[in-house]
Structure 1
Amino acid sequence: MNKFKDVVGTRIDALESRLLALSHRIHANPEVAWAEVNASTWVAAELAGVGFSVRKNLCGLPTAFAATVGSGGLHLGICAEYDALPGLGHACGHNIIAAAAVGAASALAPVVDALGITLTVFGTPAEEGGGGKIELLDGGAFDGVHAAMMVHPGPLDVARAEPYAVSHSKIRYRGRASHAAAYPERGVNAADAFTVAQVAIGLLRQQLEPGLRIHGVVTRGGEAPNAIPEVTEGRWYVRAGSRAELAVLEDKVRRCFEAGALSTGCELEIEAESKPYAEFATDDAMLDLYVANATALGREFTNSGPDMRMNRASTDMGNVSQVLPAIHPYIGIGSLPSVNHQKEFAAAAITAAADRAVIDAAKAMAHTCIDLAQNAGLRERLSRRGAVRFPVDAPGIPLNLESSNVR
């Protein structure tokens, strides 16, 4: 047995009560994208308490941080997520991600110098639609990092991430209000515009390649039944296998929304909620190490069947993987028949199986970092490939979400 893995595993076991308390605390206090004030503070504080140097407000994002320890030549990153879903709480289990990241990093901290590595935990806000990692990536936070990883909960253990590329858009129609009974002809019905657009999208699906996804919700449908709706709003996601395929599909979906505006006389506004999420580029050698380490802990991976499809869920970690070597495996929490983004999955995210996933994910990531440090050939390859354009403590930048208006 590797002596470093022995030390790290023992340390994670000793930290178990703190890690599970952190997971449960985040779970009990869900905060949505860009509002993870408590969760980011708690995660950063745990790392500061074991010797990490913490930089808050990373790249100008108030709930983002980078916590670093060591000064070795190989720079490894572990990503922590902690945002919750509106109305569903931690139905994607990001409390598990955050606690596992803290566990792996805390256990590695005493041995980073002996391993010759620098280790950074990135607190990454707004994965659920905001693209926090993309803003950090564009702001230079990952520059100088040679490889990155994280582990995401799901119903089952699945090794390879195969997420869709996705765009997130806010849709708004502007019409004109009028009394719906007395003067309906003087109104311009913004709700009708959404109806036309959704019918067009439904018909479009017949002509789409298998596997493409279009889905959304109307978040504002009008103010009163006796008033022609003047403003309606919604949020729409478009997903495809790659960013190139996504661009083609987005153009088709845009025309559906334009049809709603054209047929009703409304004005259409389309605003990007974030920059598009990319497909994932898995580093196979890193993933093989993770699978071996997780299997040694007793984890069993699923390679087929519908229950494993959480690995198709879009993630802004895909954008990170396009720039530097990365992995994003899934760890099971025994939730079936409940799956991610269900309230039952949120309840499962603090069960005994979920708590075990925190500990196993922490160990598997820490052990994988040790392997990366000690495998001479892989270490040399990662050191040559890593993004090195800017220092990791790059100055902050404001959010810059692209938007467009269609009249």
Structure 2
Amino acid sequence: MAPSDDYAPSSCFGNLFSFKKKQQSASRRSVAAARNAPAPSYYPAASEKLPAYDECVTKAFEHLDVKGNSEIENIVSNAIEGVSDELRTISLDLHENMETGMKEFHAHDVLTDYLESKGFTVTRHAYGMKTAFTAEYSNGPGKRIGFCSEYDGLPGLGQACGHNLIAISGLAAVIGVKAVLESGKASGKVILFGTPAEELSIGKIVLVQKRAFQDNVDVALMLHPAAYHAERGAMIAIHDVRLEFFGKASHASAAPWEGINALDAMVQVWNSISMMRQQLLPTDRVHGIVTDGGKAPNVIPDYTSAFFFVRTTEYQQIGRLMHKMEECFKAAALATGCEVKWTWREIGVTKNVVQNGPMADIYKEYMERHGIQFPTPAEQAATGGGSTDFGNVSFEVPSLHPMYGIHTNAANHTIEFVGAAKTEIAHKDTILASKGLTITAIQVLRDENYYQAIKSDFEKSIRSDNDGLMM
């Protein structure tokens, strides 16, 4: 499913920001204020979205050896450190040779060749996408672990979201799990999904639609670099719409009364959205661009177009914003006499990420033992703003998508983050986070009680999200 050349990125972390100390302080103040204010009845309080364990889940989690099995951790660490230099070479290659969504042919070949050389069974061009792939290794019966690698970049910027690092984090994780499976310390299966076009919010949604995750894995995990650490990073839902107005051209000076101004309709929409924002929830987002505003200043424009994103914390809330936007479109057409057409994205909504509590806890515990500090869950919930197609995965199988810091204050989707994504320290940060994610996954293979806790938390979280208001 190839996007058109003018398809702008609609996913990933376009407006995530760094956790500078002043921002952290401001976040804490805002969180404290939010705790003291009653939440609207139609919108869940932030605390309701934090993982809530029922009694059986809590007891199951208490059985875990949260200090970790040193022998397992040594196997994982040795396996990942043993390929660290190779992964660094691949990361720099993908950074230097950035490709945009559904065009990642070089990345596809580099990653699949490497995985095949490491003993994985590789399927190239998987699930009907030319730049998707899977790589599998199994050793005996047991749970099935899925990881995701991303590798597309942003036009005009490059690897401004660090997908070169996400690519090698997936490689590191499956290599670490494979080493444990080979050692006989666990049994089961590990699969790496090569997921193209995350910046276009396509790859994982196609995989979900084709049941790639639902039929093949019991849990799914992946990492994302940022300016901070967050084991439960908040990633929200997004949808997009293309808008067109059709009017009538005429000479803008000699006979303007003969025209029907499509640009007036677009300006009306812009103003309507600006006024609408004061009636939106503080967590709602509407933003966009005019893609065609006319061709000449002395001609009444007979055609204009725009491209808008709408975001909500929960995907079930998207319908409320869609309705408001459509009313703005219709009002502008009525006011100006134009015809109007709008088209919501055919592939559907990119959902918010449902983070799995038990998996987040194991990942956090490992990282804290290695000196990493995390904001509180409430602070993490208050700082969301980016979106990812991994959200659609998280509604199908228990999932974890932590953010990890790469020693930068730069926000994702900036030229400064492009530079940060190729540094040696960012590579070391990726290796550490990959070990933490791998240890989390191996616990799933080794402890049935832990998996049942994961499953219970997933089912409770999905029920909670499906209770969201759809308008």
Q: Does 1:252 align with 2:324?
A: yes
SS in 1 for 2:289: strand
Matches within 5 A, 1:3-402: 3-71=71-139, 72-113=141-182, 114=184, 115-142=186-213, 143-273=215-345, 274-303=347-376, 311-336=384-409, 338-379=410-451
1:146/1:222 Cα in 2 relative to 1: closer, same or farther (>3 Å)? same
1:307/1:120 Cα in 2 relative to 1: closer, same or farther (>3 Å)? closer
Tell me the CA shift for residue 306 of structure 1: 8.0
CA RMSD of aligned residues (A): 2.5
For 2:335 and 2:375, the matched residues in 1 are separated by: 48
Question: Residue 152 of structure 2 aligns to which amino acid in structure 1?
Answer: D
For 1:210 and 1:382, the matched residues in 2 are separated by: 31
For 1:56 and 1:190, the matched residues in 2 are separated by: 47
Q: Who is 1:392 aligned against? A: none
SS in 2 for 1:128: helix
SS in 1 for 2:264: helix
Q: Who is 2:33 aligned against? A: none
SS in 2 for 1:70: strand
For 1:13 and 1:56, the matched residues in 2 are separated by: 27
Tell me the CA shift for residue 33 of structure 1: 2.2
Tell me the CA shift for residue 21 of structure 1: 1.6
Tell me the CA shift for residue 304 of structure 1: 7.5
1:150/1:223 Cα in 2 relative to 1: closer, same or farther (>3 Å)? same
Question: Greater CA deviation, 242-251 or 301-310?
Answer: 301-310
Tell me the CA shift for residue 357 of structure 1: 2.1
For 2:134 and 2:327, the matched residues in 1 are separated by: 41
Q: Judge conservation of contact 1:55–1:66 (CA < 8 Å) in 2.
A: yes
For 1:305 and 1:154, the matched residues in 2 are separated by: 18
Q: Judge conservation of contact 1:131–1:275 (CA < 8 Å) in 2.
A: no
Q: Judge conservation of contact 1:146–1:325 (CA < 8 Å) in 2.
A: yes
Q: Judge conservation of contact 1:34–1:130 (CA < 8 Å) in 2.
A: no
1:49/1:184 Cα in 2 relative to 1: closer, same or farther (>3 Å)? farther
For 2:357 and 2:201, the matched residues in 1 are separated by: 28
**In the TM superposition, what whole-angstrom CA distance separates every residue of 1:136-156 from its partner, at most 9, and x where no partner exists?**
101111123100000111101
1:353/1:306 Cα in 2 relative to 1: closer, same or farther (>3 Å)? farther
Tell me the CA shift for residue 320 of structure 1: 0.9
Segments of 5+ residues of structure 2 without an aligned counterpart are 1-68, 460-471
Q: Judge conservation of contact 1:310–1:340 (CA < 8 Å) in 2.
A: no
Q: Judge conservation of contact 2:236–2:384 (CA < 8 Å) in 1.
A: no
Tell me the CA shift for residue 253 of structure 1: 1.3
Tell me the CA shift for residue 215 of structure 1: 0.7
1:30/1:226 Cα in 2 relative to 1: closer, same or farther (>3 Å)? farther
**In the TM superposition, what whole-angstrom CA distance separates every residue of 1:264-302 from its partner, at most 9, and x where no partner exists?**
233322223341012222211111111122223332222
For 1:260 and 1:32, the matched residues in 2 are separated by: 35
For 1:349 and 1:42, the matched residues in 2 are separated by: 19
For 2:425 and 2:331, the matched residues in 1 are separated by: 49
Segments of 5+ residues of structure 1 without an aligned counterpart are 388-407
Question: Greater CA deviation, 221-230 or 297-306?
Answer: 297-306
SS in 1 for 2:198: coil
Identity of aligned residues (%): 34
